[in-house]
Amino acid sequence: MGKLRDKMRVDLELRRYRPGTIDSYLRCAKSLVAHHRRRAEDLEEAEVRAYLMYLVKKRRVSASSHKMHVAAIKFLYGVTLGRPEVAVRLPWPKVPTKLPDILSRAETEALLAAVPSVKYRAILMAAYGAGLRISEACGLTVADLDSGRGVIHVRDGKRGRDRFVPLSPRLLALLRQYWRQERPVGPALFPGHAAGGLVAKETMRRVVREAAAQAGITKRVTPHVLRHCFATHLLEAGADIRTIQVLLGHGSIRSTARYTQVSVRHIASTPSPLEQPSTPPPTSRDQEARAKR
């Protein structure tokens, strides 16, 4: 794509898209061009639709991946190429809503205990104990921790939102233990192996997989599941959903409300109609008595 790729990257950066989103959009645009072996400037709506059908029918991409391709194509033609008519009628795919597997408190403790590295255990405990996204946990700095007030300042979260989350005494104690052992240099609390880098998200996914296997957990577990567990366990402990929304940094209460669907305590405490006392049907004598009244 050459110059077109560079122009699209600038357009994305000027709109303050996240680096990960920028890379994904550029990959999608490159895939479109490679599929047709023609310049993006020369493609028409029918060819773009044919490419999307190829993704769905031949490559069988997931609905979320399909949605990413549509978003990238709409940006490419609507913004970078100034030809919105090519993509404006492309339909957005329906993405099914799937509920995450939630670990019990005992399973969560077993998972954390199975992580041998203090550094990685501290990252995962921050994800669970403060409801952080794994990128937020890996990107923490020393300045983000306010032990006096008992909070963590999450900076530049999703969609650029800052927020404060609780810094539990147990997490603080583990972070101090980690600090004494490793003495990380620089502002980053969890530096990676590369100079100036952070612990990679893929590294944490591997750590979680290995810890889950070690703990004998058969549920599908990822670092993001710990954030789900934070919200669900808070809800089951009686926290109101508005507070959980603020702690998670959700822009809409609807995003937070889904945790009512995975809270076992809320579901189990809802009485089934089978348990409701039934009223026996009226007998003929009851009907005669009512008629006399």
Q: Over the chain, what is the mean pLDDT? A: 89
Written as six digits, the tokens of 113 are 């205990």
pLDDT at 253: 82
Strand duo 145-146 + 151-154: pairing: antiparallel
Angle at CA of residue 175, ends 174 and 177, nearest 5°: 65
Fold matches, 3-86 and 105-268:
no
Give every CB contact of residue 110 below 8 A, 6+ residues apart in sequence.
215, 216, 217
Judged against a pLDDT cut of 90, whether residue 89 lies above it is answered with: yes
- What's the rounded mean pLDDT across residues 20-37? 95
- CATH homologous superfamily of 105-268: Intergrase catalytic core (1.10.443.10)
Task: Grade residue 78 by pLDDT with cuts at 50, 70 and 90.
Answer: very high
pLDDT at 186: 76
pLDDT at 251: 81
- What's the rounded mean pLDDT across residues 173-199? 88
Q: Note the Cα 159 to chain centre separation in Å.
A: 13
Q: How far from each other are the two terminal CA atoms of the chain, in whole angstroms?
A: 89
pLDDT at 267: 59
- What's the rounded mean pLDDT across residues 247-272? 73
CATH no., domain 3-86: 1.10.150.130
Judged against a pLDDT cut of 90, whether residue 268 lies above it is answered with: no
Q: How many residues does the chain have?
A: 293
Task: Grade residue 271 by pLDDT with cuts at 50, 70 and 90.
Answer: low
Task: Grade residue 290 by pLDDT with cuts at 50, 70 and 90.
Answer: low
Judged against a pLDDT cut of 70, whether residue 82 lies above it is answered with: yes
Judged against a pLDDT cut of 90, whether residue 71 lies above it is answered with: yes
What residue has token string 């028409």?
A: 44
pLDDT at 254: 80
pLDDT at 264: 62
Give every CB contact of residue 243 below 8 A, 6+ residues apart in sequence.
234
- Report pTM: 0.73
Domain boundaries of the chain, sorted by first residue:
3-86, 105-268
- What's the rounded mean pLDDT across residues 221-227? 94
List, by residue number, the catalytic residues.
133, 158, 224, 227, 250, 259
Residue 165: enclosing H or E segment and its boundaries?
Answer: strand 163-166
Task: Grade residue 119 by pLDDT with cuts at 50, 70 and 90.
Answer: very high
